[in-house]
Amino acid sequence: MRFSVLKILSRQVYRSTIKKRSTLWLIGIFNLMLGFAVVSGYQILTTQQQIVDKYSQQVRHRWEKSPDKHPHRMAHYGYVAFRQKFPLSFFDFGMNSYVGNAVFLEAHRQNTVNFSEASLSNGLLRFGEISAGLILQLLLPLVIFFWGFDLISAERENGTLRILLTQGISWPELIMGKCLGLFSVSLTIFVPVVVISLILLFSNGAIGDNWQSLGYFAILIVGYLVYLLIVSLLAVFVSAKSNTSKSALTKLIGFWLFFTLILPKISLVIGQNLYPSPSKVEFDTAVEHELLAQGDSHNPNDPHFKVLKDSLLQAYGVDSTHKLPFNYGGYVMREGERLSAETYKRHQAKLVAIYQKQQNVVRLTALCNPFMAIKNLSMALSGTDYATYHDFENQAEAYRYKLAQTMNELQIKLISNTTKGSSGKQAIINRKHWAEFPDFSHHFPAFILVFQQEKLAIFSLIIWISGLYFLVTLSSKHFKAF
Amino acid sequence: MTGLLIKNFVRSKGLMTGLLLLFLSGLISLNVGKHFLEKNQQLIQQTAHFQQENIDRNVKYVNKEIGLLLYYVRFGLANHTPNLAGLSIGQRDINPAVLSVTIRNLEEQKYTTDLMNPMYQLIGNLDFSFVLIYFFPLIIIAFCFNLISEEKEEGTWSLVLSQAISPLKMLRLKLCIRYVSVLTVLLLLLVIAKFYLAIPVDNAFVAFGLTAILYISFWFSVSWLIVSFHRDSSYNALLLLIVWVMLTIVIPASVTTVIVYKYPVPEAFGTVLESRDGYHSKWDQPKEPTIQKFQKHYPQFNRYKHPEGKDYSWLWYYAMQQMGDDEAAVHATDLKTKLRKREAASSVIGLFVPTIHTQQICNHLSQSDMANHLNFIEEVEKFHEQKRLYFYPKIFTDFAIADENWKAFPLAYFQDKVSVNWSLVLIPVFSICVICVVWAGVNFRRPLERNARYE
């Protein structure tokens, strides 16, 4: 393939496309839409950040200002954890609107993460949300198809194709040249939004993770460039393969509908039927049944905790728990918290495994669907995918566990073993202990996790681009010049 | 002439494949709806079963104080799902179908969500309303974009002009055949749905059917309008596709984003903090003020007193719980108002955008919109209050657990009422159809012959 030929061909495509009024209109509209999408996305993000910051501070403030009290009451007072949005989430909203935002963390109980945007919205959300991700993944390919469907078929219809080929241009050069031209036209839509996003990313000082998101953004840009290249190549390739421009356009629109609308929905139906997931009632009941079998840690005389008691009495050589050198109630509660948290964790892991399996059905279609590949990759890098959310759930649960156990430790250490009730003078401890317990802070997963999660998507994009490239170079004999 | 046109239509492989695809995707969507309804039914049966089990077990083991027993016992209220919701699942897969609550403070319980795979919610259900809103227009566009231009491009237009029947009449006939064929598929699917999903034929179903018919009529009118400009096939196809993309993706998605931006809901977080503090902080405060506030809320319980010198009483405990709700009440009301505003804003916009309007009417008729959920939440509040008022006196007098009939608390149901506002359902889309058809009529009044010269 000669570089000079590619350059001439691509420049010709670029110039003739950009010359048309309709092209300029489309480019203008798309840039406006993208500008609107990222700016409004960014404003929604910063509003949400402010709301989350405000309420997180309130939670912390109220926690630290709590009066002297029994530590177990403090464990029940609990904490509220809010989900932070990744700085890049304004670029691709992904699942952000469908996952919860706030969770009440207390002893003994794992509450659901509530207040997802979807639960606060009406049915309109089902049409999607206008984000840069949606426009670039879904709408831009459609425009590229419109610009590219007749790039070769029209030359064939006009008879100019033969002239081109007799001038010594090879088929691969022709296709790659046209593809690069088409690709460069698409950059007039892609580059401005990247620039605006970068500016917005830099202006967001609320979170110190900017370097992390900047790195993610770099990879995201590469991902989108590859995606646009795949789409351009597909358009030109189909145009070369089709007998008429009309059939090329029909095929390309068919591809688009199938890949973006039909295949994801179908894979969802399949996943749901293959791996049914439990309802909340089933899940809670299963956890409850297991917990009941373990006994009640609030009741120091519970038969299931009797074994524990006997072994303690033996070890310390005393005949009553009141004579133990530490608060026995707290000790039992710590044990109970450990058991219940482990049980919950086990069930939760099972549930997440089912979700992962369901999602893998959708993810697997990325191999034959570049749209799904870029969608998953983009969500993951924008911090709006399931893995990022699940990571938050884990962090919140870990914090909850630590909170409950720290309070139990305080009870074991500081509350006398003979104290009854939880409100007497002896049953309360100094509030300085509250401030000693660190605030909840939400961290975002490291790149290696994102990479592991989405390696299939990355692999799929590589397969598509190299597959199409080889198809173009190898099958040039089968193309028709007229 | 009519016979020939029908023959022509039926013999066209492309058109028949289109109808078949439409029918098949419709059948798949009905299956999705059936699956949804069955799962929902199963969930409600499970909840009913587990509720009784939960009550029986707690009554057996927590058998000393009724105050402690009611700390544990859960009472469920199910939001009745009409079978029509199988056609338009809407928000039903986001909002829980059943809420099980204890008589403790409600704020900590009423926002509980069900367990769901967010990836699925993101992709969205392939329900009938989706097929109607997205797929039907595509087929209609494919049927109509070259209504005139195919004749011109295939060179038969001058033949048409030389016929005794007027060309406009022929075009109308062509359009009618296409309209009737798509309408047949739609009605066929609705009839199948009626039996397959056991949907009762009531006002809601009739309105649902009319909404669907109006929606496809809208797309035929738009196509008719575009065709009336006498442009070539690719131009028509491009224009119609742009309209489709705008109406099904760009405009609704932008509206969503604008609504989220314009009506943020910090109140949601506020309720959590207020109810948490309202209840928990009372543990560290003197008991008297809490009980006074409680008795101010419920004067009927004035005669119950906290036992002097006692560290704890159930009166005090439930008074504290009540404070959780009372102190979050302002935020909770604000939250509901904000959500109603969101709902109202989108229905106003819907009047001008047929896709949004159709989706909202479908969701409204099948009780799967946000209004239904808010009604349900209000019913949960009433249900919870009623349970409280029933049990409070028993708790304060330490009623014997064995004397209560614990079989009398099965799962309760909330049946929302759908009022069909016929003019709201029909007028907006109908007017848009009329505008398109009249405009097309103006275009067609120009002599058709003149346009033949270009070919």
Distance from CA of A121 to the nearest CA of B (A): 7
- For residue B234, the chain A residues in CB contact (below 8 A) are 245-246, 249
Of A406-420, A445-459, B155-169, B200-214, the range with the highest mean pLDDT is B200-214
Residue A46 lies in a domain: yes
Of B185, B132, B195, B182, the closest CA to residue B362 belongs to: B132
Residue with tokens 């011109």: B152
Distance from CA of B171 to the nearest CA of A (A): 23
Q: How does pLDDT run along chain A (482 residues), one tens digit per residue?
A: 788 889 999 999 999 988 888 889 989 999 999 999 999 999 999 988 899 999 999 999 999 988 888 899 899 999 999 999 888 999 999 999 899 999 999 998 888 898 888 888 887 888 888 899 999 999 999 999 989 998 998 888 888 888 888 888 888 899 999 999 999 999 999 999 999 999 998 887 655 556 788 888 999 999 999 999 999 999 999 999 888 888 888 889 889 989 998 899 889 888 888 999 888 888 988 998 888 877 766 666 677 777 888 888 888 888 888 888 888 888 888 888 898 999 999 999 999 999 999 999 988 898 889 999 999 999 999 999 999 999 999 999 999 999 999 999 999 888 887 777 666 777 888 889 999 999 998 888 888 888 888 889 999 999 999 999 998 888 766 777 66
Question: How many domains are contained in chain A?
Answer: 1
A359 touches chain B (CB under 8 A): yes
Q: Which two tokens stand for residue A138?
A: 């879904």
What length is written for chain B?
455
Distance from CA of A161 to the nearest CA of B (A): 22
C-alpha span between A36 and A134 (Å, rounded): 13
Q: What is the DSSP annotation of A186-208?
A: HHHHHHHHHHHHHHHHHH--S-T
B162 burial (CB, 10 Å; 0-12 / 13-18 / 19+) is exposed
| Beta-carbon separation of A124 and B360 below 8 A | yes
pLDDT band at B382, cuts 50/70/90? very high
| Beta-carbon separation of B122 and A41 below 8 A | no
pLDDT at A305: 76
Distances (CA, A) of A122 to A37, A411, B246, B364, B439: 20, 47, 20, 10, 34
- For range B141-169, the mean pLDDT: 82
- Show which of residues 275-304 on chain B sit within 8 Å of chain A, judged by CB atoms: 276-277, 280-281, 283-284
Q: What is the DSSP annotation of A262-329?
A: IHHHHHHHHHHHHS----HHHHHHHHHHHHHHH--TT-TT-GGGHHHHHHHHHHHT-SSGGGSSS-HH
Residue A217 lies in a domain: yes
A103 burial (CB, 10 Å; 0-12 / 13-18 / 19+) is buried
Residue A455 lies in a domain: yes
Q: Which two tokens stand for residue B235?
A: 């131009």
Are B44 and B78 in contact, with CB atoms under 8 Å apart? yes
Residue A350 lies in a domain: no
pLDDT at A196: 95
Output Rg (C-alpha) for chain B, integer angstroms: 30
Residue with tokens 């350059």: A7
| Beta-carbon separation of A120 and B268 below 8 A | yes
Are B85 and B37 in contact, with CB atoms under 8 Å apart? yes
pLDDT at B449: 52
User: Is the C-alpha dihedral spanning B414, B419, B424, B429 positive or negative?
Assistant: positive
- Show which of residues 132-191 on chain B sit within 8 Å of chain A, judged by CB atoms: 134, 138
pLDDT at B138: 92
Distance from CA of A99 to the nearest CA of B (A): 6
B323 touches chain A (CB under 8 A): no
Are B138 and B182 in contact, with CB atoms under 8 Å apart? no
B343 touches chain A (CB under 8 A): yes
A280 touches chain B (CB under 8 A): yes
| Non-local CB neighbours of B47 within 8 Å, separated by 6+ positions | A281, B76, B78, B98, B100, B411
The answer, yes or no, to whether residue B125 has pLDDT greater than 90, is: no
Residue range of the domain that includes A92: 3-260+371-478
Are A454 and A461 in contact, with CB atoms under 8 Å apart? no
A58 touches chain B (CB under 8 A): yes
Residue A278 lies in a domain: no
Of A119, A112, A76, the closest CA to residue A96 belongs to: A119
The answer, yes or no, to whether residue B454 has pLDDT greater than 50, is: no
Are A326 and A410 in contact, with CB atoms under 8 Å apart? no
Are B114 and B373 in contact, with CB atoms under 8 Å apart? no
- Of all residues in chain B, the one with the smallest CA distance to A76 is B280
Taking CA B178 as the corner, what is the angle to CA B24 and CA B156, rounded to the nearest 5 degrees? 125
Coil/strand/helix, residue A6: helix
| Beta-carbon separation of A246 and B241 below 8 A | no
| Beta-carbon separation of B111 and A268 below 8 A | no
Residue A289 lies in a domain: no
| Non-local CB neighbours of B226 within 8 Å, separated by 6+ positions | B144, B145, B236, B239, B240, B243
Output Rg (C-alpha) for chain A, integer angstroms: 30
Q: What is the DSSP annotation of B216-273?
A: HHHHHHHHHHHHTT---HHHHHHHHHHHHHIIIIIHHHHHHHHHHHHS--THHHHHHH
| Beta-carbon separation of A128 and B249 below 8 A | yes
Are A74 and A434 in contact, with CB atoms under 8 Å apart? yes
Residue A9 lies in a domain: yes
Coil/strand/helix, residue B300: helix
- For residue A277, the chain B residues in CB contact (below 8 A) are 115, 117
Are B211 and B128 in contact, with CB atoms under 8 Å apart? no
How many cross-chain Cβ pairs, A to B, lie less than 8 Å apart?
Answer: 234
CA within 13 Å, CB half, A157: 15
pLDDT band at B409, cuts 50/70/90? very high
How would you classify the pairing of strands B75-79 and B98-101?
A: antiparallel
Residue A430: Cβ within 10 Å count: 10
| Beta-carbon separation of B272 and A104 below 8 A | yes
C-alpha span between A443 and A86 (Å, rounded): 9
| Non-local CB neighbours of B360 within 8 Å, separated by 6+ positions | A122, A123, A124, B346, B347, B350, B369
Of A112, A110, A122, the closest CA to residue B112 belongs to: A112
Higher-pLDDT residue of A253, B383: B383
Of A100, A111, A138, the CB nearest to B249: A138
Are B140 and B216 in contact, with CB atoms under 8 Å apart? yes
Of A94, A123, A285, the CB nearest to B363: A123
Residue with tokens 């009839």: B191
pLDDT band at B452, cuts 50/70/90? very low
pLDDT at B455: 38
pLDDT at B20: 92
C-alpha span between B351 and A213 (Å, rounded): 41
The answer, yes or no, to whether residue B163 has pLDDT greater than 80, is: no
| Non-local CB neighbours of B63 within 8 Å, separated by 6+ positions | B69, B401, B402
B14 touches chain A (CB under 8 A): no
pLDDT at B447: 66
CA within 13 Å, CB half, A176: 22
Residue A199 lies in a domain: yes
C-alpha span between A369 and A362 (Å, rounded): 10
